[in-house]
Amino acid sequence: RKIKLIGREDVLRTWCNTPRGYSCAAATERQSSVQMSQKAIREYAGKRLLTEHFSKTYKGEYEFGNMVLITPKTELKGLEDRYEFLKKEKLVAKPDQLVKRRGKLGLVKLNASWNQAEKWVQERRNKPFSIGSVSDDLDHFLVETFVPHKQEEEYYICIQSTRPGDRILFYHEGGVDIGDVDSKAVVLDVLVGDEPTTEEVTKALLAKVPKDRQAPLAKFICRLFKFYALYHFAYLEINPIVMIEQKESKNAKYLIAPLDMAAKLDETARFECYKLWGDVEFPSPFGRKSCPEEAYIENLDAKTGASLKLTILNPEGRIWTMVAGGGASVIYADTVCDMGGAKELANYGEYSGAPTMSLTYKYAKTILKLMTKKAHPKGKVLIIGGGIANFTNVADTFKGIIAAMQEFSSLMIKQDVKVFVRRGGPNFQEGLDNMRKFGVQYKVPIEVYGPEDHMTNIVALALEKKDVEMVHRPSMGRRTSSAMDMLRGQPSPREEGKPSQPLKRRNSKPGIEPPKRSPFDLFTPETRCFIYGMQPVAVQNMLDFDFVSGRGFPSVACLVYPFSGNHSRKFYWNTKEILIPVFAKLSEALKKFPDISVVVNFASSRSAYDSTMEILKYSNQITTHAIIAEGVPERRTKMLIRKAKDLGVTIIGPATVGGIKPGCFRIGNTGGALDNIIASKLYRPGSVAYVARSGGLSNELNNIISQHTNGVYEGVPIGGDRYPGTTFMDHLLRYQANPDIKMLVLLGEVGGVEEYEVCKALEEKKITKPLVALCTGTCADAFSYEVQFGHAGACAQGKQETAAAKNHALKVAGAHVPDSFNDMGVLIGKTYRRLVQMGKIVEKMEPEPPQMPVDYKWARKLGLIRKPAAFMSSISDERGQELVYGGMKLSQVFEQDLGIGGVLGLLWFRRKLPPYFAKFIEITLMVTADHGPAVSGAHNTMVAARAGKDLVSSLCSGLLTIGPRFGGALDDAARKFSWAYDTGLLPEEFVSTMRKKKMLIPGIGHKIKSLENPDKRVEIIKEFAQKEFKSTPLLDYALRVQAVTTRKKSNLILNVDGCIAVCFVDLLRNCGAFSNEEAEMHIANGTLNGLFVLGRSIGFIGHFIDQRRLKQGLYRHPAEDIWIVPFDQQL
């Protein structure tokens, strides 16, 4: 355990200090989704958690007093009758809105009766109050017990998160006049996973506290630290905490009470702390109220695995942005502010993580609605920007944006809105082309540019600041890049004056142990990895990169997926089909492939910690981890960092796209589509290495570096979280030691202090190679309140964490710092050309990369091929928003009140059922009647009918497919959800238990439907049950489980089988017609499955009749659609 007893002034003299967070009740970042990790809570919430924990854990030892929170909805009249302490005790009243220095501002009422406190609150309630340039209405007040005490009984204590663990700050004086606590407090650093002892606390912190007070105060601090760690706090400050002598008390000699508190929780730990936290609110900072549109986008963001962010800065501003990518969104805001547009910047926001067309439509519609509320005399500009995407289909996201703009096109024209677009990434050509067509068709002024042009040039065009030379002026003709030509099978034109030669393929094979590598290398051309999770797209992307880079064999040896048995999956090595094994157990995978040294971990944020800890047990073999997940709790990440450091293991991430070493190894989807790999010369090494925070911007760096130098040697986006697994320095020191790397690039951002270690290394000559560095987020200085940007770590918690301060420090230390991101490419080019002139870089001939075939699905999406349908069907269609039977929508079937529930009740249950029970059975039959011609049962029925079989034979052919994988989920869902509910498992515990058993939850998940594209059938059943049933405890429980599972992926919803199952159990148990024994008997007897069989038979018969009517002939499946596995392939 590392203990330091130091004055704060000693820390502040170094580059690498960790500045303290905001003082008590500091204004902090706005509420948002999982990416924005550290979130401030109200003082009331912090004290509630503290009181609940200490009361339960240390019964009778501490008394923290009573309190009540007055909100805008609180009725003050009669409040004292609901809270008796208001009549009996002296009180303190103060606003609870993340306002700091309330005492100095006259915002604290002390030693008051309830009448006095109520009057004081009423005089200020819902009235504006200004702090500097920021103004807001006072609408939340904390009223609590007044604790009389002496000045010498006040102390200051703060616990804050640091990269190695946590830091405890203490000062023997507290209160409103404490002054500069940074220069006064003594410090105790505690490594993550450790807990301080009372002896350590006493020695390090309490030297100036009277001897008789040290022991109880040290015990309290140790217990406070345990509370802080258990509840996943990121910051906890109490000023003052009082320690009052109780001469007449029989329990404790001293009363310890927190008077003022400021706290932040790590919101990403909600899934762990749901039970502990209860209903915790994360309020907006003082001075900024969330508008309904922001709340709407936040709600959308919470329901999807993608990211959607929106902050309204100036609703009457004329500059609006719709930017793809967290890192890119900051750069666009920076550029607008750099060019003098800060006061006119209307919003900050971003969309990323491959959102669906439906999501981007809703996001764009929300922004357009805000933008067109009021015209601006100078007109408005809409900047639809973004970097080069790694895996997001640009055309699909643009379709949603275009659909929204079509609805607002007339208003956009009327209000003189000009649109500027720049984007790159998978299928960007079609996306940009669709944008141009929209502009022509709807007569909206629009300029469209691709990755050939600098990312932020469109800002200068939009603001009319200077004449910008663009590579491609907007035109209506469809442009295709040379990379796309290559994908279409055409040769790529080479750069003039640089003759090409074929790229040589390495003649190497996998070894029996991890390949030897230099200490400064993470990857070699022989490096192999395993993928944790079922990620076939990422695997194929890695294999395509391997082949185009000239590797001798695939970099992916196998996949590990605990939710399935051992099997193999088919992939492509160029045009050759190969099998890659999938293992359920990690130990089996590593035993089979002893040469694996890297893991690419796609586990969710909930399971990334557990899976990584398991993999770290094999640190003698697996030496490099890439953790892709966003939203891993900070404390868990820090524990991984400590464990990995002890084992000598490198971690990239969490919250990263991965990394890339051109011509050698690619992590997951890094580098984007294959055309971008070629365009950015990532198929062979260059001389420039970079390290960045943002995964999306790493692709932009690939593009910039390839345009201005001979290319990238290695690039690592370390991740956007506050504490990534590795730091800038970890990678820059590797690059410094590598003789093949001649030049370094660093792209940091606002928040954190890691860049100061780079400054120190430059000053101490640990880094001597030319370094071009920039920290984004300089726009934060233009805002009157704090704005949390796209990454969890992108928020300054002190002046030294601002982008401007870090850029200045880097420049002073000797780095080449551009004035803005717009100038970064130019500065990289100048630095590179200087190295060429000095002879340190010798440029080589550009090799010709091999041509790659286009995948069938991708070619079909691009409209390059077409394929006739295998079946015709005229009776049902499940593709739309609502199931259709014979041309009639499902809701119309219900409107006609068709049903047989009453008859079924008499035949199956031998009793008359309540009307709502019978109606539910009718709904179930109608919903389960059919699900289109493609499912296995209908397919079998149709094939049998086309073979000339009679109706009964054809129907039986379909019914025989009903089993565990088709139609059998109803019984299993009823049993599993009932078991979890009856045993008292919380939803999180149920999900965790099923995962540990390596079992999927029956009734959860859908291939097509999701939270953004809900299943109409589920909605109908759920609404009926909630309206008509006496109670729905199991349905309510299942929906809470859905809230947990959809945090990982939005299509892990409660599906129609699961919804019917839990509703049916609620009916049997609570309708009053059955005893508990009868209810359980009917579930055990398969009654639920009977409902499915009966309902689905209706559709099977319909398909038989339809095939006869259409006179369909004998069906034979096309031979080319079947791959005969070579007999020498190992399965």
Positions marked catalytic: 791
Cross-sheet strand order for the sheet of 319-321 = 319-321, 380-384, 417-422, 446-449
Residue 956: Cβ within 10 Å count: 15
* Distances in whole angstroms, Cα of residue 62 to Cα of each of 56, 88, 170: 10, 20, 20
Residue 757: Cβ within 10 Å count: 18
Helix and strand numbers (H, E) in the chain are: 38, 37
Give the residue among 421, 359, 353, 358 at the shortest CA–CA distance from 393. Answer: 353
Backbone angles phi, psi at 337, to 5 degrees: -70, -40
CB 498 within 8 A of CB 681: no
Calpha distance 553→538 (Å, rounded)? 17
CB 659 within 8 A of CB 527: no
CB 358 within 8 A of CB 1013: yes
**DSSP line for 412-469:** HHHTTEEEEEE-BSTTHHHHHHHHHHHHHHHT--EEEE-TTS-TTHHHHHHHT-S---
Residue 196: Cβ within 10 Å count: 22
Residues paired with residue 578 on neighbouring β-strands, in sequence order: 571
| Placement of tokens 């294999």 in the chain | 543
Calpha distance 558→84 (Å, rounded)? 65
| SS percent in the chain: helix, strand, coil, step 5 | 40, 15, 45
Calpha distance 14→297 (Å, rounded)? 42
Q: Which two tokens stand for residue 148?
A: 């009389």
Q: Which two tokens stand for residue 998?
A: 């390596």
| Placement of tokens 């450790």 in the chain | 194
Nearest 5 degrees, angle CA 482-CA 485-CA 489? 140
Instruction: Give the torsion through C-alpha atoms of 544, 547, 551, 554, to 10 deg.
Output: 50
Calpha distance 160→163 (Å, rounded)? 10
CB 688 within 8 A of CB 713: yes
Give the residue among 221, 329, 406, 427 at the shortest CA–CA distance from 693. Answer: 329
CB 326 within 8 A of CB 355: no
By the 10 Å C-beta count (0-12 exposed, 13-18 middle, 19+ buried), 1094 is classed as middle
What residues contact residue 424 under an 8 Å CB cut-off, 6+ apart? 386, 387, 388, 389, 394, 450, 451, 672, 676, 699, 703
Nearest 5 degrees, angle CA 491-CA 492-CA 496? 130
CB 429 within 8 A of CB 463: no
Residue 5: Cβ within 10 Å count: 11
Q: Tell me the three state secondary structure of residue 1066.
A: helix
Calpha distance 377→388 (Å, rounded)? 34
| Placement of tokens 């009157």 in the chain | 784
Instruction: Note the residue count of the chain.
Output: 1131
Residue type at position 846: E
| Placement of tokens 């501490």 in the chain | 62
Handedness of CA 453, 455, 458, 459 (dihedral sign): negative
Calpha distance 1053→1004 (Å, rounded)? 5
